[in-house]
Amino acid sequence: MFTSQPVIFFDETTSTNYVASNLIANGDATDGTLIITNFQTKGRGQRGNNWQSKKGENLLMSLILKPDWLNVKDVFLLNMCIALGVYDYIVIRADARVNIKWPNDILCGTKKVAGILIENTFRTNNLSWCIAGIGVNLNQEKFDESLLNVTSLYILSGLTFSPQQEALELRSKIFYWYEALKNNNASAIKETYHQRLFGLDEMRNFKFRGNFIHGYIRGVDNNGRLMVEKATGEIIFPDIKEIEYVFN
């Protein structure tokens, strides 16, 4: 399906998610449209952070999906599918342990190699459109000192990659799970996501609402909330802005 959908390339743009949003607003988007750029002047990540990348060295893309058959209560299943697709893409290219860090980062060991920013629009009880903005550190060897715990596929493998070709490969990996969701394989999606979830049932250090805590990640609930069991036995469901992983 996606192999026949448009691929739009920019040498430079503000943000591929902005471009995707404008395509949707103008009625020019289709399910599976892919936008790629060499550089973003206003790239964004989770928590409102900027996404930093050297021009032409990494994969910067947005994938437009039209999951108008998916009920809003199942929206995190779509997040899971996208994260699983990125995981599947990374795991065959990186000589490292790969995990999904809730909600949408991909780690090699404890270092971030890819991030996902998902923006959804809704119509009544169903989704209307989904924009999955994805950044993968491909060929970059050196990073800004402010970026801690980051790596790239080049650092991990010693290989260099073509961003445009890699974008097509990544789109096909996401499509596999997107089709699984269409075919009502929610249980397989949830099970696989949890199998690949970073820190599952491991004692980890966190910063929760400004305070350091110890706890176990027990999974992700049906609303997409992280479930953390504190050392005291209390179960908390922190918002993404309330909790940070602490890597020593």
DSSP state of 4: G
Low-confidence residues of the chain, pLDDT below 70?
1-3, 43-52, 248
Give the CATH architecture of domain 203-246.
Roll (2.30)
Residue 47: which region, alpha, beta or left (left: phi > 0; alpha: psi -120 to 50)? Answer: left
Residue range 2-195 forms a domain whose CATH class is: alpha beta
How confident is the model at residue 2, as a pLDDT?
57
d(CA 238, CA 244): 10
Confidence (pLDDT) at 202: 95
Please give the structure tokens belonging to residue 35.
């936008």
Where are the chain's structural domains?
2-195, 203-246
- pLDDT value at residue 50: 54
The reply to whether 2-195 and 203-246 are identical in fold is: no
On the CB side of 144, CA atoms within 13 Å amount to 7
Residues counted in the chain = 248
Distance CA 150, CA 101 (A): 13
pTM of the predicted model as reported, rounded to 2 decimal places? 0.94
Please state, in angstroms and rounded to a whole number, the distance separating the CA atoms of residues 187 and 205.
Answer: 29
